[in-house]
Amino acid sequence: MKKTGRFLCSLVTVMILITNIAFADDFVKNEEFFNAVKKYIMNNYAGEVTEDELYDSAIKGMFEKLDKHSIYMDKETNESFTESVNGKMYGIGALINVKDGKLNIVEPIEDSPAQKAGIMPGDTIVGIEDERLGEIKDLKEVINKIKGDKGTNVNLTISRNGKEFKVDIKRDEIKIKSVKYRVIEGDVGYIKISQFTTDVEDEVQAAVDELKKQGINKAVLDLRGNPGGSLSAVVEVSKHFVPKGKVVIVRDAKDKVINHYSKGEVAFDKLAVLVDENSASASELLSGAIQDTKSGTLIGKTTYGKGTVQTILPLKNGEGIKLTIAKYYLPSDRSIDGTGVTPDIDCDRYDIDADKLMELDKNTKLSKGDAGLEVLAVQERLEAMGYDITDPKGVYQDSTFKAVEKFQQDTGIYPYGAADLTTLSKINEEFVKYMLSDKMDKQLKKSIEILKK
């Protein structure tokens, strides 16, 4: 009876506390109220929770009321963010973003585990290991699940063209080179900036110097899939592409205006800029400034539309706060936030719609006499890469046999005409490379056409 009495007394006390909190006449939601609620939870919650966990949840709750770019980063997330800014990552090697709540592959990094596994731009990750992904609200949290120690495997469920399949990818260290360059079509320079990391200006300067040394005076600047990066970096890089003058305007929460200027050391007489729906933030500032100053022609698709400034506040315990503190405006004073930059020439990227191809099952073996969708998937990829196939669609006959045999010869596989596991994996890998090559790139072809007029 004594135990029962103590329990009832405690229950009455809890009910009184709840009533006092819920129905107090003029209580103020201030620090005192917050501490009272925390104390009430700690003293009466019938589960397990620590005071630190309550503080973490409360702080994260504050950020839920802010824009999607303002986040409270735990230690792991903060380290991940720092790695990406510094141009070094560990994982599968793919640029990933969130669109309409879904986790999408922007582009696999060249020679990365993702590319070798056949991951393609436009793929959607719908599961990680045994966990199905719902609506993505925290990109960093999901990326941390994909990343892991070098040499370990991660199993992803991929959705492509409405069909799902699983793929095991062995994680590796991914060293991101922010800038790649080369000469194309004999007299056109090509510079691709993957992201605006802290050392990007040195890399762009080296690319410009080498191309100028070769007498190049027209160039393609590729900003597709570039998620952005450092404001100071993009302002410094802008000097190579934007005439002297204003390149970006920053307005903070108190309407204070800071103008950033290009030094105007323009490197090329003619410039074409490639953008897509995954060009964001700093890459939108640079492409938008080029468009505003009429110093180049933008080709591709409307950009992402991130026109806000975030600052990182590192905390002593390794955590961090990323907070939106201002908005970006282009030299013409137009905002890109939520709208993006519309290219001068709208153009799709690929000659082939990869989403409409049949899924390639790499865990089978196909040979002459077989028929079905698995055969069709092989035929589609080989034909796209230039191999001649005259057999009926989905039927493995003489020309498919010869195409497979020729592919095996070309890639150093024993040529015997049957599409075994090794051959199918290689077809998948080479097709992804081909899709990302100049031969399939309609936007790049259009930019060259513009530059050569």
What is the rounded CA–CA span in Å between residue 385 and residue 440? Answer: 9
Which ranges in 240-332 belong to alpha helices (H)? 282-292
- Neighbouring CB atoms inside 10 A of 116's CB total 20
Q: Element (H or E) spanning 173, and its range? A: strand 172-175
Give me 409's structure tokens.
Answer: 């010869």
Q: Element (H or E) spanning 367, and its range? A: none
Q: What is the dihedral of CA 290, 291, 292, 294, to 10 degrees?
A: 80
In order of 29, 40, 45, 193, 335, the CA distances from 15 in angstroms are 20, 11, 13, 61, 52
Contact of 233 with 198, CB cutoff 8 Å: yes
In order of 92, 413, 427, 434, the CA distances from 409 in angstroms are 29, 6, 12, 17
The residues facing 183 across adjacent strands are 189
Contact of 302 with 311, CB cutoff 8 Å: no
Q: Which of 441, 435, 438 is nearest to 115 (CA)?
A: 435
Q: Which residues belong to the active site?
A: 281, 292, 306
What is the rounded CA–CA span in Å between residue 242 and residue 252? Answer: 24
Residue recorded with tokens 């436009």: 122
Contact of 201 with 193, CB cutoff 8 Å: no
Phi-psi label, residue 372: left if phi above 0, alpha if psi -120 to 50, beta otherwise: left
Reported residue count of the chain is 453
Phi-psi label, residue 392: left if phi above 0, alpha if psi -120 to 50, beta otherwise: beta
29-46 b/e (C-beta count within 10 Å ≥ 16 → b): eeeeeeeeeeeeeeeeee
What residues contact residue 290 under an 8 Å CB cut-off, 6+ apart?
A: 221, 241, 242, 271, 273, 296, 298
